[in-house]
Structure formats: C-alpha cells, structure tokens
Amino acid sequence: MKRILITGVGGPTPRSFAISLKKYSKFSDVKLFATDVNPLAIGLYQRDLFEKSFVVPLAKASNYWNEIEKIVNENQIDFAVILPEAEVMEWCNKERNSKLPCPAFLPSVEMAELLIDKSRMTEVLNDSGLVPKSVTFDRNISDFSEIFTVLKGNFWVRSSSGTSGLGSLKVEDEEALRNWIQINPNVQTFLASEFLSGRNLACKLLYENGKLLRAACAERVNYIMAKVAPSGITGNTSFGRLLNEPELVDVATKAMDLLFEATNSAKHGFFTVDFKEDGDGRPYITEVNVRHVAFTQCFAAGGANFAEATISLLTSDQEFDKSFKMYEFEKDLIFLRDVDNLPIIMKETDLYTKS
C-alpha cells in the first residue's frame, strides 16, 4: 500500500486530487497524508481522506525542508503530490539542485518559472498567434496611452502572476483602470489583454519523459461565489461541461511545444492550458497552470482520472498504457459544484427548466 503526501490541502485542488484517488481510482487503498500552512485549512481535518495531517512552514521559510523531510521520513512517504504554485517552485528548485526527500511528478524549474509568470509566457507565444494581444505594465504607471492604443475598446486586466482570477476585471476606460490598480495594492505587475467574448476552456495535458500521454478538455461556464468578485471570476467553477475537442488539444500541444523549446525543457509534467475564445470561436491561450485544477474530480467522475494516471507513473504501474489517449466523455456531460458539496455529474439535457 503506497503512502502519498499531498500538499496545500486548504485549497480545493489538492482535496479534489485526493477524492479522485479515493473515490474513483484503482488506488483507493492508498494512505494519504496532508500538509498546509494554515491550521484552519479544512483539508487537514478530513479524516475520511487523510491518515495524518501536518501544519508546515511557508515554502520559502528556512525550516520548510526540515519539516517536510521529517514528515516524509517518519511516515515512510513513497511519493509527494505538490499542488500550490509556491511549493511547486520550491520542489522544482530542490530537484534541480539536490535530491528530493521522496519522488514527485514535476516539470522543470525553468518551465515552472515561465508559466507562473503569465506575462513572460505570453511574450514567448506572442508571435505564434496563440495568445491575445497583451500589454504588461507596472502599478506605478502614469501614462496609459500604449495600453489603450494597442487594446482598442474593452480589455481584460489581471495580475501577471497568481491564481483564482487575482486582480481580474473587464476595463472600459482609464478611470476604471486607475481605480482598479489602487484597490489592488498587492499586485505589482498587471497584464492587460484584448477582451474575448467566447467560451472559457481548459485542456489538461499529461507528459512523461518527452511524450504526451493523456489529454482532456472542459468548459468553465459559471463560478462559485461569482457575485463577490467584480470580474465574476473566482477561479472555482460551479458549472462546467466535459468536452470532446481534439482540435483544442492540437492547439494546446502546439503552444506547449513552443514553451518547452523556449525553456529547453523535457516534455514532462502535468499542465492545464486555459483558453478564451473570441467572438468567432477561435481559442486564445490566457495562461498555463503547472498543476491540476479544482474540478479534477469532475474529470475523474467522467472517466478522465488524471490523479490515477499520475500515481500510475510514479509507481511505474506496468498496467498503465503509455500510448497517447484523449479522454472522451459521454455527450452532453456537465458538472455542478458548490462550496460544501461533492460535485454532481449529469446530462445537461436533464437540467430543470424555468417555468
């Protein structure tokens, strides 16, 4: 029985990964161990998922590795699943410079650094036609003319790094932009991009040692607690669709090829490529996550269990087929999510209609 450490369980993504293993995979008998920096993190107390839980220092803290190595050694951890971006970076750096306390499935540190910085990623893909027109600017900017010249009309502004729609807003004029900068004092660098009115899509890609093994697509339609965010985007999808779109996989892998080349990295790791379509249905890449996303268990429930695939690779599972597979879902399949409930997978045609 394998013993797996999952970090950052205060967030929905690590818990979603754990549920994908415990509820939907052939590895349901694994023993999972949890960490988080916040003693109030709910995942630390979910005994149905985790054998033991530990509060750990921030990834950048001087005693972080001492605590992690102690947990790994004392609990005989076989593998680690690292999900918060700050810890992904820390583990990638350690893997490059020394030996990890236990194996983990990680991209190169160069790739992680590039993707966490959305502005740099956009710059690398700028000539490919795969990203929207964009302008990066510092919060202390005084002249907005370049932004409004390049991005005529409405545009989307957000933090150049971070998750959950940090600093995101649809901007229509200079006054709104100035006000938005002021009420986001913790954002130093912003990325402004042309506003795209189409679908919000995600393509998940699993690579190992130079080869693409698995892919799957979904659409984000609505967000949990959308009303509390001026942008309507909180980073947690409440309603989405599981899609069969090989053309989207083609676009995502084309972009990833360019990013791997730019960082001189091996094709290795798990990535979520986010797209927004324009009014004509053409998809443009808005960011690439170096991790799973919060509706991972919805994919698993629909038959695309990336958590199981990841553990299969870590355990060198001989039954795991390493030929490429794009997961295909039943037509019309959707998922519904909320804060304190497990997701529901169902047919969209079975939704109730308004009277």
Bridge partners of 4?
Answer: 32, 79
167, pLDDT greater than 60: no
165, pLDDT greater than 80: no
DSSP summary character for residue 83 = -
**Joined tokens for residue 71:** 């947990």
Q: Is the dihedral of CA 7, 12, 15, 19 positive or negative?
A: negative
For the chain, how many helices (H) and strands (E)? Answer: 10, 16
What is the model's pTM?
A: 0.94
- DSSP-derived 3-state class of residue 236: coil
Contacts of 344 (CB under 8 A, 6+ apart): 335, 336, 337
> Side by side, which strands form the sheet with 79-81?
52-55, 31-36, 3-7, 79-81
Structure confidence at residue 26 (pLDDT): 96
164, pLDDT greater than 60: no
pLDDT tens digits, residue range 179-218? 888 888 888 999 999 999 999 999 999 999 999 999 999 9
Whole-angstrom distance, CA of residue 207 vs CA of residue 171 = 37
Contacts of 246 (CB under 8 A, 6+ apart): 326
Whole-angstrom distance, CA of residue 192 vs CA of residue 137 = 8
Angle at 108 between CA 6 and CA 64, to 5 degrees: 45
C-beta neighbour count of 305 within 10 angstroms: 25
Bridge partners of 208?
Answer: 211
pLDDT tens digits, residue range 109-132? 999 999 999 999 999 999 999 999
